[in-house]
């Protein structure tokens, strides 16, 4: 019975992922075509970004469904506690970016110093890479869509998901940080895991941003290059802050969550 339910859930993910992927591709193509019309580019930014996000989310659901069907990972019953914590961290990621940031204008675009990554990394350390990555992706993508960073939303969704997955992989699969260990060892392992995820972001954010702005949004290469350079600076500063603050928060919250039996071995 459990196996049958798992297969049904996997098929549902495949179906919903396929529909989202198809809808996202159609929306992106239509809005991209409309944006080519004179003076229409600005009005099409929001639906175009939503179309790209639908593509990314649809692809994620398709991959998850295929993985479940092939049985290449251990199937677990969804933990309601993890869902609640993921929703909470998504909200914190939104707040960290929306209300604790300093905008840096670069031509018609902008980058920012912010605290959103802190909660993405913290979520991955506490509730696992997939849930943490989704919390960061959803929370900061919504923040992009509501705070003037609409064109960056698809890139944000992809990169924050990757940050969470990397931090979770290193922390839980590599170091097994949820096990009982000396405080010094936990601190070191959590710091390394956080640094691994943010090191990826330091490299990927400006590089992906450059190609995305140039070849997807059609921004001139010179302007995209300048934005990538400024983004590299802000991303590095954000990464250092995220590693330090998330590690401190993790050490403070870990005992409390363990005591409340909300911190699981992942």
Which tens digits make up the pLDDT trace of 72-119?
A: 444 444 456 777 788 889 899 999 999 999 998 877 778 889 999 999
Please compute the mean of the pLDDT values over residues 202-230 and round it to a whole number.
86
Q: Please check the confidence at residue 174 and state whether its pLDDT lies above 50.
A: yes
Contacting residues for 119 by C-beta, under 8 A, at least 6 apart: 89, 92, 93, 96, 135, 136, 139, 246
DSSP labels, 164-191: HHHHHIIIIIIS-TTS---HHHHHHHHH
pLDDT of residue 197: 96
User: Residue written as tokens 């019309």?
Assistant: 37
DSSP label at residue 261: T
pLDDT of residue 239: 96
Distance separating alpha carbons of residues 149 and 131, to the nearest angstrom: 24
Q: Please check the confidence at residue 240 and state whether its pLDDT lies above 90.
A: yes
pLDDT of residue 218: 79
Please compute the mean of the pLDDT values over residues 224-239 and round it to a whole number.
90
For residue 244, give both structure tokens. 């330090």
Secondary structure of 110-151 in HEC code, one letter for each residue = EEEEECHHHHHHHHHHHHCHHHHHHHHHHHHHHHHHHCCCHH
pLDDT of residue 190: 95
Please compute the mean of the pLDDT values over residues 23-48 and round it to a whole number.
60
For residue 91, give both structure tokens. 């909200």
Q: Which residues pair with 104 in a beta bridge?
A: 111
Distance separating alpha carbons of residues 187 and 37, to the nearest angstrom: 54
The pTM is what?
A: 0.76
3-state secondary structure (DSSP) of residue 16? helix
pLDDT > 90 fraction of the chain, expressed in percent and rounded: 35
């Amino acid at each position: 019975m459990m196996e049958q339910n798992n297969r049904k859930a996997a098929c549902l993910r495949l179906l919903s992922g396929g529909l989202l992927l198809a809808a996202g591709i159609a929306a992106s193509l239509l809005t991209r075509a409309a944006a080519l019309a004179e003076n229409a580019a600005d009005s099409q930014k929001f639906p175009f970004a939503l179309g790209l996000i639908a593509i990314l989310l649809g692809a994620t659901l398709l991959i998850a469904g295929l993985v479940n069907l092939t049985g290449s990972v251990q199937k677990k019953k969804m933990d309601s506690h993890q869902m609640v914590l993921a929703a909470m961290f998504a909200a914190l990621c939104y707040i960290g970016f929306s209300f604790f940031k300093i905008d840096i204008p670069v031509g018609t675009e902008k980058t920012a110093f912010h605290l959103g990554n802190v909660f993405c990394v913290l979520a991955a350390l506490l509730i696992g890479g997939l849930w943490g990555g989704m919390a960061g992706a959803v929370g900061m993508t919504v923040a992009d869509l509501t705070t003037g960073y609409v064109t960056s939303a698809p890139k944000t969704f992809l990169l924050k998901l990757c940050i969470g997955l990397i931090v979770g992989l290193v922390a839980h699969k590599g170091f097994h940080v949820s096990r009982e260990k000396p405080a010094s060892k936990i601190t070191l392992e959590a710091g390394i895991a956080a640094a691994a995820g943010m090191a990826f972001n330091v490299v990927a954010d400006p590089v992906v941003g450059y190609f995305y702005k140039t070849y997807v949004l059609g921004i001139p290469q010179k302007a995209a290059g300048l934005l990538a350079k400024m983004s590299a600076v802000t991303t590095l500063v954000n990464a250092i802050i995220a590693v330090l603050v998330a590690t401190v928060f993790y050490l403070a919250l870990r005992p409390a969550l363990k005591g409340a039996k909300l911190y699981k071995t992942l």
